[in-house]
Structure 1
Amino acid sequence: MFKYLKRLIIFLLVFLFAFQTYRIHRNVKNVMQYKEMVEETLADNDTKANVELVLAMIYTETKGGEADVMQSSESSDGVANSITDSQTSIQQGVSVLSKNLDLAEAAGVDVWTAVQAYNFGTAYIDYVAKNGGENTIELAESYSRDVVAPSLGNTSGESYFYYHPLALISGGRLYKNGGNIYYSREVHFNLYLIEIMSVFS
């Protein structure tokens, strides 16, 4: 009986791993269809952003499965999902990222602060500059709790569980209306994920 259960558990784990790998590969393939569009957009802009970073952000935002692939509508006109085509989404997303990268360089902070500011807003760059100059989970958490969440109505520190492997390592909780404190870490991880999966495309 014990041997049977052991084999069943091993089979289920292998199956889950294979299924998850298949899903990731499919999502990466979906994101890679925007590579040429990203390259063209970057070529038309004076920017420090690169193709790999933008593709990793697309993967993080939507996995390429929505028209607003970079979820850049709110940064454009303050209205969610107002952008209805991928090219406009990428153009707006690259514009915001490029601005963040320039501001981060001027403030003397790391690139990942600029990436996190894509989720939090540009004011996060000044916050990091005044608190050590490097984006960390601790800084992102305090900014989410003390600045972002209250500005959007969460003044009580209400939080919820966030089921993402990278988040679970650091506690796995986000503040309601407080953005994603793990955003830059996810983008960083997805850079490598896309690179690895692209080998098998």
Structure 2
Amino acid sequence: MFKLLRRVLVLAVLLFVGYKIYRIHQDVRQVMTYQTLVREILSEKDTPANEELVLAMIYTETKGKEGDVMQSSESATGSTNSINDKAISIRQGIQTLTDNLYQAQNKGVDVWTAVQAYNFGPSYIDFIAQHGKKNTLSLAKQYSRETVAPSLGNTTGKTYRYIHPISILHGAELYVNGGNYYYSRQVQLNLYILKSMVKVMEIIPFL
């Protein structure tokens, strides 16, 4: 009986893992449909942003499944979901990332501070410049709790459950109205996922 249960459990785990890999593969294929558009928009600008980073951010934001693929409406208009054109969304997202990267260069902070600032806003770059010049999870969490959340009404540090492979080891929560302090790490993880899956797709073209 025990052996049968163990086999059922192993089979269930294998099916779950297989399903997750399939979903990741489908999401990567969707995001890669924007590669040409991203490349064209990047060529229009003098920017330190690169194609792989932008695609990883699209993967992180929407998996390429919404009109505002880079969730850039708020940086353009001050309100969410006001952009519903994929090219406009990517163009605005790249502009915001470009501005962050140049500001990060001027302040002497790392690239991932600029990426985290895509979620928090550019003032985060100044915060990191005054606190060691390198983005860390503890500093991002502090900024979320002490700056972002209170500015949007959460003055008590109220949190909510947030389940993600990265968050599980760090409390699995975020501050209400506090943005996503895991954002830059999620982009890093998704950059790795994109690169790895694209290599697999090149080796096995029919995938």
Q: What is residue 167 of structure 1 aligned with on the other side?
A: 167
Q: Distance in 2 between matches of 1:106 and 1:170?
A: 31
**Percentage identity across aligned positions?**
55
Q: What is residue 29 of structure 2 aligned with on the other side?
A: 29
CA RMSD of aligned residues (A): 0.6
Any stretches of 5+ residues in structure 1 without a counterpart? none
Equivalent positions of 1:23-172 (< 5 A) are: 23-172=23-172
Shift of 1:199: 2.1
Structure 1 ranges of 4+ moved more than 4 A: none
1:199 alignment partner, SS class: helix
Q: Distance in 1 between matches of 2:200 and 2:111?
A: 29
Code of the residue aligned with 1:76 in structure 2: it is A
**1:59-101: CA deviation from partner (whole Å, max 9, x where unpaired):** 0000000010000000000111110110000000000000000
Q: Distance in 2 between matches of 1:184 and 1:29?
A: 22
Q: Distance in 2 between matches of 1:38 and 1:167?
A: 29
Q: Distance in 2 between matches of 1:200 and 1:142?
A: 38
Higher relative contact order (CA 8 A, sep 6+): 1
Code of the residue aligned with 2:190 in structure 1: it is N
| Aligned residue pair count | 201
1:200 alignment partner, SS class: helix
Q: What is residue 194 of structure 1 aligned with on the other side?
A: 194
Q: Distance in 2 between matches of 1:171 and 1:103?
A: 31
2:200 alignment partner, SS class: coil
Code of the residue aligned with 1:91 in structure 2: it is R
Instruction: Please report the TM-score for the alignment, with normalisation by the length of structure 2.
Output: 0.96
Any stretches of 5+ residues in structure 2 without a counterpart? 202-207
1:165 alignment partner, SS class: coil
Q: Distance in 1 between matches of 2:139 and 2:57?
A: 21
Q: What is residue 176 of structure 1 aligned with on the other side?
A: 176
Q: Distance in 2 between matches of 1:122 and 1:72?
A: 14
